[in-house]
Amino acid sequence: MPLFSNLKKVFHKSAVDTKRQQTIHHIRKNANPKDLWQIVGELGDGAFGKVYKAQHKEKQILAAAKICELEDEEDLSDFTIEIDILSELGRKCITLIEFAQMEPPHHEMLPMRVLLKIQKSEPPKLNQPEKWSRSFNEFIASCLVKDPQQRPTASRLLEHSFINRVLDSKSIRDLLLEYKAEVVEETLEDAEDALDDVSEGGLSGSHSSRNSSISALGTVKLEGVQNNSDSPSIARKEPHVLMRVKAIHKSSVSLDRLSLDFDSSSESGSLRRREKRRAPAPPIPVSQVDSKMPTNPAEIKSRKPDSDEGKLYDNHVLRKQELRELKVLQAQEHKEFRDLALRAQLARDQLERKFEHDKATLTRQYDIELENTIRAQEMQVERAEQQLETDLRLQSRRIRAVQEVELKQFMEGLKHEMKQMKQDVDHMSKDKRKEAMKTRKDNMEKDQVDREKAFLGKLNDKHEKAMKTINEKHREKIANIKKQFLQKKQQLLRSREAAISELEEKHIHDKHQLATQEDKDTFHLHKQHMLVRHKKEIGQVKRMNVRREEKLLKALEIEKRQLPKRIRAERDARETMYLESRRISGGNILNSEQEKEHLKRFQEQENKRYKAEQERWRSKQLRQSEDTRQVSEAAVKELESAQNEKRRLLMEHEMQKLKQQEEEYNRELSEWRALLKSRKQRLEDEFAKQLAEHEKFYGMSLRSNTPAAQTVELRVPDRPSSGSSGSSALSLQSDSLIP
């Protein structure tokens, strides 16, 4: 019974599942039952504690009340299950069968076997339906219809003849009179004869038993019984009943241990067990009886023999004890499963926290390394810029120094040409010298100016080209540096993504291992509980078999002690009848020797008959013992078969659960890998885009990298000129980076 409920609770629950709020219509909250009900007594022990007798303050109706403490909403489901069971019509019918037969159906079986039998077998019926009325049998059959759709409703059952008819209260009054009667009777006789008398039928009411017993009349007070149904109430009366009770007196048994037998017509001769109860207060006056009979109340106690041979068992008490043991075991199982679920939830939370912490630590580590890389890149670029400024300044100065020398040589050549022209003019005649000097000087000055401009432009172009070459090399160097750092940065991002993906894969694997271990622990706990429960069930069945065998042995022992006495009495009676018949038929014809011979033959026949009867009884005893042993073995085998089937089902469920867990892990891993592939592809696309933008930016920069010019005066040596005042200054182009 607890196995399937635990399987349903343990293997279908999850820590992330939301609990659905159940709507229970027959439970009222924010209400105090003590405002309407009053506890007037205690009835006994129930499934969830004491059962009290409660009375409604306004309607004065009686009810059975249970006081239960709810710790959380999960405990409410256990109580609602019992409420549903008590509200079922079949429960009422089972109670009627228990009223009729003193025991519920299948009371000799274990609860697990009863559950299987309810599913596979037909609804229970009365063992002897002919002893009960037709309406009672029909009412039980109507309540215990297996199909709920065909089962009649409560309103229809209230119209049934068994419920709707008016009952005679005489039988109930008689039972109450018998229950409330105060009787005292004591018989002093030998223990063996007393036990034989009890087994043969108790108090038969014959003249012999009347002579060997002391009768007493007790007073009975019939209290009013209030019923919640519509049946007529029983008036308060004070009738008187004559009860006969035989008490066995032994040296070790005192007068307060009396065995009561109110059923004088019982065929089995079993003793009715009753617990100790005190007689109500002062006896009521006796009427319509012999006033000479004693009316003093006596204390009645059940007999508890000290020897093992006289063990008497109360099946109801034993069954309640077994059910109590199973409930204690079930409560322990629930506690262990709750502890296991809490430990599993704690392990899952710790795993999630560890994953988040490791991921944050890994991300922070790579972020720090990435920041260091960016900082190193900026420092290296800054140093490269500073180095560029220094190189440009030095290179510009070196080039200008060389160009100044070249310009000085060029200017010296122009001066030499002017001198040569003057020498040539001096060799001419005086009348032509002045005119030729002027003409040739003007032409030469124009030519020198053009040549000087061309030479200066050439020098500037050369300087500008050298500066541009240096700038291009610098830009290429900066581009390479930034590209290297970009690739390093991308490699760091790839490493971070790979580390995160590895961490995620490890986390998925750890979750799978944790869930698998949780399932294994749960099934292991189920197996342990199943073994304990199976051992307890086997022990209960074996104890029940032992009780059955002891009961049989006791009955056989009683029958064995009764057999010689019964056969002797029967033999004496037959011998007396034989002698009487011989006397009537003409016993005077034969002499005494012949009579003795006939009597001897008759006695021999009776002895043979006695031995045959004993042999028949021995074979019957062996047959009953063998049947009992076979029934016990069959019960144990049936229980072991059911337990093996449960173990097989549990193993199959475990394999199915582990297989399902493995499939879930593979599916989750496949989905994660698909997402990881797309995530890596997006990252690589982003890296390629960054590289393309880098190449595009620095490619255009290198093509359009023409540095701005700055005018630097280069002093040109003086040359003779009629139109100039002396020295002149020409300009050269320089890179703008030169201060």
Write out the two tokens for 289. 């009886």
Asked whether the CA dihedral 732, 735, 738, 739 is positive or negative, the reply is positive
Distances (CA, A) of 14 to 9, 19, 144: 10, 10, 38
Q: State the virtual CA torsion across 535, 539, 541, 545 in degrees, nearest 10.
A: 150
| Rounded distance between C-alpha atoms, residue 38 and residue 62, angstroms | 10
What DSSP designation does 309 have?
G
The residues pairing with 53 across neighbouring beta strands, listed in sequence order, are 41, 64
Number of residues assigned to the chain:
739
Yes or no: say if 739 and 393 are a contact pair by the CB < 8 Å rule: yes
3-state secondary structure of 181: coil
Burial of 196 (0-12, 13-18, 19+ CB in 10 A): middle
- Within a 10 A sphere around the Cβ of 736, how many other Cβ atoms? 12
Strand 62-66 versus strand 49-56 pairing type: antiparallel
Write out the two tokens for 223. 């209290």
Closest CA to 733 of 703, 719, 717, 712: 712
Unique residue bearing structure tokens 């992330």: 16
Angle at the Cα of 543 from the Cα atoms of 542 and 544, rounded to 5 degrees: 90
State which H helix or E strand residue 241 sits in.
strand 240-241
Burial of 460 (0-12, 13-18, 19+ CB in 10 A): buried
| Rounded distance between C-alpha atoms, residue 586 and residue 577, angstroms | 14
Cα distance from N-terminal residue to C-terminal residue, the chain: 99
Write out the two tokens for 233. 């109430």
| Rounded distance between C-alpha atoms, residue 10 and residue 342, angstroms | 12
Closest CA to 714 of 413, 456, 462: 456
Unique residue bearing structure tokens 């009627």: 96
Closest CA to 530 of 386, 380, 445, 650: 650
3-state secondary structure of 713: strand
Residue 66 annotated in ligand binding: yes
Annotated binding-site members for ATP: 66
Annotated binding-site members: 66
